[in-house]
Amino acid sequence: MGITSVRLQPEIEQVLQEMAGATHRSKSWLINQALKEYIERQEMEKQRWQETLQAMESVAQGKVVSGEAVHQWLSSWGSDSELPPPEVGM
C-alpha cells in the first residue's frame, strides 16, 4: 500500500478527527473511502460522457425514435394491447 501526504485545511482535519472517533475508524480509512467514492463517481461521469457522445453521433446519423412513437408505446403499458418498443428510424 502506498503512502501519500496530504495537507488538510484545519476545519476539514477537525471534522475528519470527529468522524474517525464517532465511527471508530481511522482517519486513513475514512480518507481512503472518500477517495474511492470520488474516483468511482469520476469514472461514472466519464462513462456517461462517452455515452452522451455516442448518442449525439447516433442523432447526427438520423438514428432516432420519434417522440410520438415513444408516447404511444408508453401509453400502451399495462393494457391488453401493449405495443412493442418503437424501432429506430433512419
How does pLDDT run across 38-87, given as a tens digit for each residue?
999 999 999 999 999 999 999 999 999 999 999 999 999 999 999 999 99
C-alpha cell at 43: 469514472
Give the helix ranges, DSSP H, for 5-86.
10-23, 27-60, 67-76
- pLDDT of 2 over the 80 cut: yes
In the predicted structure, residue 90 carries a pLDDT above the cut 70: no
Give the pLDDT of residue 1: 83
How many angstroms separate the CA atoms of 22 and 51, rounded?
A: 40
Grid cell locating 19: 468522524
- Checking if the pLDDT of 89 tops 90, the result is no
Question: Length of the chain, please?
Answer: 90
Q: Is the pLDDT of residue 27 over 80?
A: yes
